[in-house]
Amino acid sequence: LLAKKAVEAGLTVAPYIKTSLSPGSGVVTYYLRESGVIPPLTQLGFDVVGYGCMTCIGNSGPLDDSIVDAIDK
């Protein structure tokens, strides 16, 4: 609900902030989708990247291209 209010207020996430969402299970994603929470989360950049211990242990999806380039150099 906070994400919905943030979108309504025109708030955005700074581009240097990595956002992700890793619900505990697919059932939780279903609940979020059915309650209408997923669209505002997605609009803010919080896409589902996996389930369970993903984000909290660093498995939060692909790195930004600029970070990959810096690592490659």
| Alpha carbon distance 50, 69 (integer Å) | 24
Which residue range forms the structural domain that includes residue 24?
2-72
Give the per-residue pLDDT at 61: 64
- Residue 60 confidence (pLDDT): 63
pLDDT at position 2 over 80: yes
Per-residue pLDDT tens digits for 30-53: 999 999 999 999 999 998 888 887
Structural domains of the chain, count: 1
Residue 16 CA to residue 5 CA, distance in Å, equals 22
Whether 55 contacts 24, CB under 8 Å:
no
56: pLDDT strictly greater than 70: yes
